[in-house]
A and B are shown apart, each in its own frame.
Chain A
Amino acid sequence: MKQLLTFIRKEFHHILRDKRTMLVLLGLPIVQLLIFGFAVTNETRNSSIAILDNAKDETTQNITARMENSRYFDIDRTLNGNRQIEDAFKTGKIKLAVVFQQNFQNELAHGNKAQIQLIADATDPNQATTLVNYASSIIMDHQNELNRENNLPYTINTEMRMLYNPELKGAYTSVPGVMGMILLLISTMMTSISIVREKELGTMEILLVSPMKPLLVILSKAIPYFIVSLINVATILILSVLVLGMPIQGSVFLLIAVTVLYLLCALSLGLLISTVTSSQLAAMLISLLGLMLPVVMLSGYAFPIANMPVLLQIISNIIPAKWYIIMVKSVMIKGLGLEGVWMEALIILAMTLFFLVISLKRFKVRL
């Protein structure tokens, strides 16, 4: 026990003395979260739009006012004819144009039908879709109000509903994604690097000659990074609740429990990497290229898994982050309990055991 404590203290000395690495370890999650939470987001606010009102009656003015008042749109200009639409887009400033047909109110009152054309700048298709969706839902709101007031079936019945994330908040995808990525990266990469560094420097030989049990060496490597990762989990969760305004719907305890499980998986993966490499550079490359890319690409964080080719969908199953991200979303956003995540938890547990068995076997061989 004393050996273990002495050794853990040594690992902390290594970590604390290397200021630059420590800054990266503790700062990276914050930076990532803020970048993905704020800068890289599907949520678009205050987009400049143009209005071409060919009717200029009460209804169209009401709808225009609603758009003006929403935080998504800024009415940049009003147009006086179809010709000006293209010019408005060419300035590059206008992202969306809303065109009301002539005699809008009359058509609506007598024919129960009126048309609004939404023209979006689709050079950025994601943004265009989002803006069109925002606009349609504002129009829909207005239409529903009209129907309630008049008890008349005015037109269309498109229903738009975004489950769990009605405002398409970016944080809802970025927080689970960043957690899945950062925790895996830090735990796996740092554990493997710190074990391989001892091999590279020759100090591993000294440790193997000492009465220190190899299992203790590994354990004392894993514990400090486990603690660092827990600090990161706390930072990420506090930031996402306080700064990104993302609620934790489910049990915090369950969220932490599945996170600890995921950390163990990441640590054992790091251990596995350290047994197959003998230089720090190789360990880092395997961790970065071998983990970072698949996690970003295939975990469902950046691209929806359902849209991938079947082969990639199958491959995505062996990525621990995929299952962890599903669990975080289930607990944090949907508020599910253990009954909603037990399968994913079992999968990660199985992966952890698999990594552990192989690496312990390999570690023995190397003695």
Chain B
Amino acid sequence: MTMNEVVIKTEKLTKKFGGFVAVNEISFEVHKGEIFGFLGANGAGKTTAMKMLIGISRPSSGSASIAGFDVYKQTEMIKKNIGYMSQKFSLYEDLTIEENIRLFGGIYGLTDEEIKLKSGVLIDKLNLRNEARKVVASLPLGWKQKLAFSIAVLHQPKIVFLDEPTGGVDPVTRRQFWDMIYEAAHNGITVFVTTHYMDEAEYCDRVSIMVDGVITALDSPQNLKERYGADTMEEVFVMLARSAKRGE
């Protein structure tokens, strides 16, 4: 796993809504194959920042490049090279597993043969052979989330953005979910993930913590704990987030 190639680079990236500065001059880099945890309390500006990175919200100022493409001018190219899974469940509940795979494969421009091949592999890997023709609504939440992640990386994106992917999922399934994240990272897919679970923050290669629209800390979990003299990431987070002035 090479860490030198930069796949996300932002410089003084800012988003204002009228007089309110939601994201205030954030600058950071993420390397290829890295698992990057993007932490922050509710209302800290995480989601707004993420929306700028994935090309659905135009920055007010600053610059950012995603997989080598500019967030102002090349959003179409960015969209082709990333995967995205949102905190709301991101599959169609009234379609079957197979139909969801076929739909998203088609949207990302895979050929019919590729889709057929990949959906077979995916369904076997998730042990869903018996459920493949059932509608997604009938699956337990944990399975849905694992399926949604698999579909988000179906087209082999350079970066996958996960917005609180494990919300409401039991610890065992969360563990399995993270195994899938590791596997994707091992295959060279960069993982950019937001979460509220601090045990998950420990799994990341590096984390950033946002407070009031500003990145106040950015390092590996180990270094952060040492710097703030804390035993867990939870302590680090509470220490930093307590200084927040913005409420929810």
Contacts and interface: CB of A to CB of B under 8 A. Distances in A.
B124 interface: no
A3 B107 contact: yes
Interface stretch (A59-67, A114-122, A139-147, A202-210): A202-210
B50 to A, nearest CB: 10
A2 B79 CA distance: 17
A207 B90 CA distance: 10
B70 to A, nearest CB: 16
Which residue, B80, B86, B135, has most C-beta atoms of chain A within 10 A? Answer: B86
A242 interface: no
A201 to B, nearest CB: 7
B228 interface: no
Interface in A3-17: 3, 5-7, 9-10, 13-14, 17
A202 to B, nearest CB: 3
Interface in A292-323: none
B248 to A, nearest CB: 20
Contacts of B92: 10, 14, 203
A218 to B, nearest CB: 15
A13 B79 CA distance: 25
A318 to B, nearest CB: 34
Given A6-B106, A10-B99, A203 B90 contact: yes
Nearest to B102: A6
Contact of B56 (A203, A212, A367): A367
A193 B233 CA distance: 44
Given A3-B106, A18-B94, A209 B135 contact: no
B108 A206 contact: no
Nearest to A2: B106
A9 B102 CA distance: 10
Contacts of B89: 201-202
B68 interface: no
| Interface size range on A against B | 20 to 34
B23 interface: no
Nearest to A207: B107
B107 A209 contact: no
Interface string B158-185: 0001000000000000000000000000
A211 interface: yes
Interface in B65-111: 76, 79-80, 82, 84, 86, 88-95, 99, 102-104, 106-109
B109 A208 contact: no
A6 B55 CA distance: 23
Interface in A196-247: 201-203, 205-212
Interface core residue of B86, B95, B106, B109 (most chain A CB under 10 Å):
B106
B54 interface: yes
Contacts of B99: 10, 13
Interface residues of B, number: 27
A80 B135 CA distance: 76
Contact of B79 (A7, A9, A211): A211
Most buried by B among A2, A210, A367: A210
B107 A201 contact: no
Contacts of B106: 2-3, 5-7
Contact of A14 (B55, B94, B104, B108): B94
Contacts of A10: 92, 95, 99, 103
A278 B172 CA distance: 36
Contact of B55 (A2, A206, A207, A209): A209
Contact of A201 (B84, B88, B108): B88
A205 B103 contact: no
A136 B226 CA distance: 104
Nearest to A14: B94
Contacts of B161: 209
A13 B94 contact: yes
Nearest to A213: B76
Given A202-B86, A202-B89, A209 B95 contact: no
Contact of A211 (B93, B109, B135): B109
B56 A209 contact: yes
A209 B79 contact: yes
B90 A210 contact: no
Interface in B36-79: 54-56, 76, 79
B42 to A, nearest CB: 17
Given A17-B94, A17-B135, A211-B80, A205 B108 contact: no
Interface of A: 2-3, 5-7, 9-10, 13-14, 17-18, 201-203, 205-212, 367
22 contacts: A2-B106, A3-B109, A5-B106, A6-B103, A7-B103, A10-B103, A14-B94, A18-B94, A201-B93, A202-B86, A202-B88, A202-B89, A203-B92, A205-B56, A206-B86, A207-B107, A209-B56, A210-B79, A210-B84, A211-B79, A211-B109, A212-B107
Given A201-B88, A209-B56, A211-B108, 9 more contacts: A6-B106, A10-B92, A10-B103, A201-B93, A206-B90, A208-B56, A209-B55, A210-B79, A210-B84
Interface of B: 54-56, 76, 79-80, 82, 84, 86, 88-95, 99, 102-104, 106-109, 135, 161
For the complex of A and B, the 8 pairs showing the least CB-CB separation, nearest first, are: A6-B106, A202-B88, A209-B84, A211-B79, A211-B80, A206-B90, A208-B56, A10-B103
